[in-house]
Amino acid sequence: MKKLHVLGLSFALVFSGLAAPPAASQMAVNDDRIDATAMRRSVIVPQGRHLGPQSWRVIEVSHVDADVVINGQVATTTLEIVMRNLTGAVQEAEVVLPVPEGASLVGFSIDGPGTGFEAQLMERAEATRIYEGIVRTMRDPGLLEFVGYNMIKSSVFPVQANGERRARIVYEQLLDRTGERIDYALPRSDGGADTGGAMAPWSIDVRLIARAGISTIYSPSHAITRSRNARGAYEISVAAHDAQAPGAFRLSYVLAADHGVAPTVMMYPALEGEAGYFLMLAGTPEELSSVAAARGAAREITLVIDRSGSMGGVKLAQALESARQVIHGLRPGERFNILAYSDTVERFSMDAVEKNNATVAQAIEYLEGVTAQGGTNLHAALGAALRQSPAPGTLPLVIFLTDGLPTVGDTAETSIRALATNANPHERRVFTFGVGHDVNGPLLTAIADDSRGAATFVHPGEDVEARVGEVFAKLHGPVLASPQLFVMRDEIRRGPNVPRTIFDVIPGAGEIPDLFTGDQLVIVGRYHHAGELTLRGSFLGAPMSFSTALDPSLARTSNSFIPRLWANRKIATLIDSVRRLGADPSIGQDDPRLKELTDEIVRLSLKHGVMTEYTAFLAREDVAFARAEEAVEFAQDAMHRRAVRTRGGAGGVSQSMNTMALREMDSVSESNRFVNDDLDEVSIFGVQQAADRSIFRRGGRWIDGSLADEPGEIEADREIAFGSRAHLDLASRFFREGRQALLAQSGDILLTVDGERVLIRAAADEREQAE
C-alpha cells in the first residue's frame, strides 16, 4: 500500500502523487513529520494545482464544497473534499490544508471504513518547515504560494482501489475588523489555467448573520450572488460564471452606520519606492429602501424614443412597451415626459407632467400613435431632453434609446457629445440604450459617462423592454446624489512641496455615480501618505458628509487585489481617452496624443499583466521585439485601427462593452477576458498576475513583466537554484508582499528583485515538464 501526502490548498484542492520517485540523492526532506521512506516508495507530491505529468497522479479531487457561516466576527469554515483513487490498488492519503493565521481546528472526519483518523493544527513556523520540505523533495513550485500560512495536517487514511472517500474539515477563526468592516478569506491557489494544473470544481456558499444592520457586502475576488432568508441572514454564493475562477475567496461586509452610509478603506502598502494603492467601499443598506421612497428626491424621467425608419417592427414595439412600463413604475407624484424623434423631435408635453391616472392615460394614448419613419436626429433629440427645466426638488433623469448613427441635423460626434457637458444646465443623468449594432458605441458611452448615467447595449434579438426595465429598477432613490470625494491631508505633512495625498482616483472628480438603494460604490486610487477621505453629497435630499481615515499603517499586502483592480480601471480610462480622440476624423496614427496614451497603456499592461484586445499580442510566447519601441508601435497601430477608427457596427459595440467591463470591474476574477466582434468571449493566457507585478511566458520560461518588451536575449545578473535557501527565502518575502504566485509556476523564472535580474533555475525534470 502506497502512502500519499495530499495537500488541499488550491483552487482545485487537487490530491496528487507520483508513481515513480526521484533518486534518493535528490531528496531533501529534513522534517521528521514527512515520511521520507514512504515517499521514496511512492513519491507522492501534495499540491493543489498539479503541475506534474498526468501519469504521476494516483488520487485526485473530484469536487470541493465550502460552506461558511459568519456570525458577527466569528467564521466557521467547513470543507468537504471528495477524493477518487485512480488506480486498481489501495492508496493512502494525508490531507494538508493551508489556513489563515489564528484559525483553530474544530473537526475532522473521514467517511467510510476505519477509525482513529485525526488532524492537527500547525502554526506558521512548523507549517513552513513542512511546506519547504515538500517543495525541496518534490521539486514542485505550486506549493510556494502557501509558504507562510498555518496548516491543518491529517493522519494517514486509505482510499480503496478505484474508490472514493470524503474528508470533512471544520475550522473557526476570529475575523479581522477595521472600523465597521469585517473581512474573511479562504486561501486558494492564485494560478490560472495558463499556468497548468488540474482544477476540480468548487462550490462556495456563505451564510452571514449580523445583529446590526449591514451597509454592503463585497467580494473583491469573485462575482457573488446574495439574498436574504426568512430569518434575516444573508445567503451568499459565488456566481455560476465565476465558480471556477482561481484565487483566494475574499468577502467583506460593512456594518450599517446610524447615518446610513459607512465608507471604509482597504489599502495595499507602498513598496519599492512606489506609491501605495487604496480602495474605498461604500454602500446603502436595504433598510433604507422605504426611507428613500419617502424622503429621497422624486424622479423626473424623460423618455427619448428613436422612431426613425430603422426602428420599425419589433424594436419600436418593445421600446414603446418599455416606456409604458417605466411610466407605470413611477411613484405617484413623480414626473415624466416623452420625446419621440426621427428627422424632428415631437413632445408628449412641453414640460414634464406629474404622474396621475389622467396623465398616464394620456401618455399611453400618445405612445399608441408613435410610428417609425424618417432619419435619426440625435443632436436635436438630446438637446431637447437636456434643455427642459425640471420641477424643483426632483432628480432629472433621461432614458435615451436609439438604433442607429446620426443621419439628420448636426451629425458631428463632437457636437453631440458636447451637449452632455456644455448644454446640460440641469445636470440630467442620461442613460443611453444602443439598440442593435448600427450605433456609435463611443458616442453613447461618452454621453452617459459625462452626465453620471450609464450606457447599455441591446444586441440583435434581445428584448429592449427587459433591458430598459433592468436599468429602471435600479433607479430607486437615490440615497446619495451627486457624490464627490474630498481628502483632508494630515496636518504634519502640509506644505507646498508635499505630494498629493491621493491621485489617479477612479472614478474621478464629477464621475462618481449616484448611489441608489442597494447600490455599492467602489473607488480605487493611489496614495502617498495619510489623510481623511470624505464623501459628500445629497443624502436623502439633504447635504451630508461621510468620512473615513486613510491610514497607511493599516495597509496590508493581503490586499493584493487592489493594484490589479486599479490597473484594470486605469487602462480602461486610457482606452476611453483614445476612443474619444476618434470623434475627430482628422486624428492620424502618428498623433502625439495617441502615442502618449498608448505608451502608458502598454507600460501598465506589462507591469500588471492586464491584457486587452489591443495588447493581447504581448502575451504570445513567441513574440519577440527587435527594438523596445516595437511593442508600443504595434499597439498604437491596433489602437488607431480599432479604438480610433471603428465607431459603429459590432466592432464599435464590442469595444464599448470591453472598456465598460474593465472600468466597472469590482472583482479581479474577470481579468484578461474580452469579447470579439462576434461577441464571443476571448481569454488570454501566457501571463500571470500577482499584486502589482506580472510575469509573461517567453521562450520556454517566465519573465518579469518589466522585461517583457526588451529586445533580444535577456541575461540574468544572478541565478538561484530551485529549492535552495535563497529560493525559499524569496518565497517567504513574496508571501509578505502578496506576490507569492510569481514563483508558483513550472520552469525557469526571470524576475526583477531590488533592481537586479534574478533567474530562478528550475530542477531539470521540472523544466522538462514545463517545456
Indicate the pairing of strand 502-506 with strand 480-489.
Answer: unpaired
In the predicted structure, residue 703 carries a pLDDT above the cut 50 = yes
Q: pLDDT tens digit string along 433-460?
A: 999 999 999 999 999 999 999 999 999 9
Confidence of residue 363 (pLDDT cuts 50, 70, 90): very high
In degrees and rounded to multiples of 5, residue 565 shows phi and psi of -65, -45
Which amino acid is residue 367, in one-letter code?
Answer: L
Find the range with the poorest average confidence among 36-45, 131-140, 288-297, 591-600: 36-45
Backbone torsions φ then ψ of 601, nearest 5 degrees:
-60, -45
Residue 250 predicted with pLDDT over 50 = yes
- Is 146:98 a contact under the CB 8 Å cutoff? yes
State the cell numbers at 551: 491610514
Q: Over range 459-473, report the average pLDDT.
A: 91
Query: pLDDT, tens digit, for every residue of 518-539?
Result: 788 999 999 999 999 999 998 8
Predicted local confidence at residue 603, as pLDDT: 95
pLDDT of amino acid 425: 95
Residue that is written with C-alpha cell 529534513 in the block: 30
- In this predicted model, which residue has the larger pLDDT, 511 or 494? 511
The pLDDT tens digits of the residues spanning 668-691 come to 865 588 999 988 999 888 888 887
pLDDT at 319 over 70: yes
pTM of the model: 0.88
Res. 56 pLDDT band, cuts 50 70 90: low
Q: What is the pLDDT of residues 117-162, one digit of tens each?
A: 898 998 988 888 887 877 777 666 777 788 888 988 888 888 899 9
Question: What pLDDT does residue 444 have?
Answer: 96
Q: Report how far residue 348's alpha carbon sits from residue 371's, in angstroms, rounded to the nearest whole number.
A: 14
Please report, for residues 175, 537, 540, the alpha-carbon distance to residue 392 in angstroms, rounded to integers and kept in the order given: 47, 18, 15
pLDDT at 295: 62
CA distance 748 to 473: 52
Neighbours of 273 (CB within 10 A): 5
How many angstroms separate the Cα of 336 from the Cα of each of 300, 396, 460?
A: 5, 9, 28
- Arithmetic mean of pLDDT over the chain: 85
Does pLDDT of 3 surpass 60?
no
Q: Average of pLDDT values for 185-209?
A: 74
What are 482-508's pLDDT values in tens digits?
899 998 764 445 555 567 899 999 998
User: For 738-751, what is each residue's pLDDT tens digit?
Assistant: 888 888 888 899 99
Highest-pLDDT range among 45-59, 272-286, 358-372, 619-633: 358-372
Distance CA 753, CA 720 (A): 12
pLDDT of residue 291: 60
Range ranked top by mean pLDDT from 130-134, 230-234, 323-327, 687-691: 323-327
Residues 6+ apart with CB under 8 A from 274: 692
Residue 480 has pLDDT above 50, yes or no: yes
The one-letter amino acid at 279 = L
- Of 7-11, 118-122, 227-231, 502-506, the range with the lowest mean pLDDT is 7-11
Residue 241: pLDDT band with limits 50, 70, 90: confident
Q: Give the pLDDT of residue 259.
A: 66
Backbone dihedral angles phi then psi of residue 293, each to the nearest 5 degrees: -65, -35
| 289: DSSP letter | H
Rg (CA), the chain: 29
Please say if the pLDDT value at position 755 is more than 70.
yes
pLDDT on residue 494: 52
Whose CA is closest to 268, among 570, 534, 552, 666?
552
Cis peptide before 563 (omega within 30 of 0): no
Residue 587, pLDDT above cutoff 90: yes
- Is it the case that residue 607 has pLDDT exceeding 60? yes
| 474 has pLDDT over 90 | no
Q: Residue 495: its pLDDT value, please?
A: 55
Cite the beta strand spans of 365-473 per DSSP E. 394-402, 429-435, 455-458
Q: Is the pLDDT of residue 698 over 70?
A: yes
Q: What pLDDT, on a 0 to 100 scale, did the predictor assign at position 294?
A: 54
Q: Residue 405: pLDDT above 80? A: yes
- Give the DSSP per-residue string, 697-722: EETTEEEEGGGTT--SPPPPSEEEET
Q: Residue 15's pLDDT is what? A: 34
Residue 26 near residue 3, CB atoms below 8 Å: no
pLDDT of residue 24: 31
Average pLDDT rounded to a whole number, residues 406-434? 94
Q: Which of 141-145, 185-189, 413-417 has the highest mean pLDDT?
A: 413-417
How sure is the predictor about 407, in pLDDT bands with cuts at 50, 70 and 90? very high
Spatial separation of the C-alpha atoms in residues 294 and 232, rounded to whole Å:
23
* Per-residue confidence (pLDDT) for residue 51, from 0 to 100: 44
What confidence category does residue 26 fall into, taking pLDDT thresholds of 50, 70 and 90? very low
Q: Does residue 770 surpass a pLDDT of 60?
A: no
Q: Which residue has the cell 519547504?
A: 132
* Confidence at 287, pLDDT banded by 50, 70, 90: low
Q: What is the residue whose three cell numbers read 415626459? A: 337
- Residue indicated by cell numbers 408613435: 370
Is pLDDT larger for residue 288 or for residue 543? 543
Cell of 509: 472628480
Average pLDDT over residues 461-468: 92
